Amino acid sequence: MAVFFEHLMLLSWAGRPLSKCANQLGKRLTVGLIAKAFTKLHRLQIRHRGAEARNIHCDRGPMIVDFQRAGALQSPASRFEQPRIAKPEEEARDATEARE
């Protein structure tokens, strides 16, 4: 019996969770590197829309992961908006809609 894949995603190792390595790099340095990474994304007109600790891993330095909800910045003014953190029920609804 042959098996066919409709979708296949290959992922590389993103490192350890931020909570396991922030002390190793130093908290101030880690925060600075994360802020710099998000600033670079915004300069490229990319908005992550999921900037939470669970989406930041470390190897040699912080690595931002999970760009599933990312999108383009809409206007220069949107760079100054506060990021919106989704409630668990909204994330569940989004996941259900994505499967449909």
CATH code: domain 16-99 is 1.10.510
* 81-90 pLDDT per residue, tens: 555 555 666 6
Length of the chain: 100
Q: DSSP character for 64?
A: E
pLDDT in tens, 19-52: 888 777 788 888 898 999 999 998 988 988 888 8
Q: How far is CA 3 from CA 6, 72, in A?
A: 10, 37
Contacts of 96 (CB under 8 A, 6+ apart): none
Q: Residue 16: which pLDDT band, with cuts at 50, 70 and 90? A: confident
Q: Tell me the two tokens of residue 41.
A: 């994304």
Per-residue burial over 63-82, b = 16 or more CB atoms within 10 Å of its CB, e = otherwise: bbebeeeeeebeeeeeeeee
Sorted by where each begins, the domain ranges of the chain are 16-99
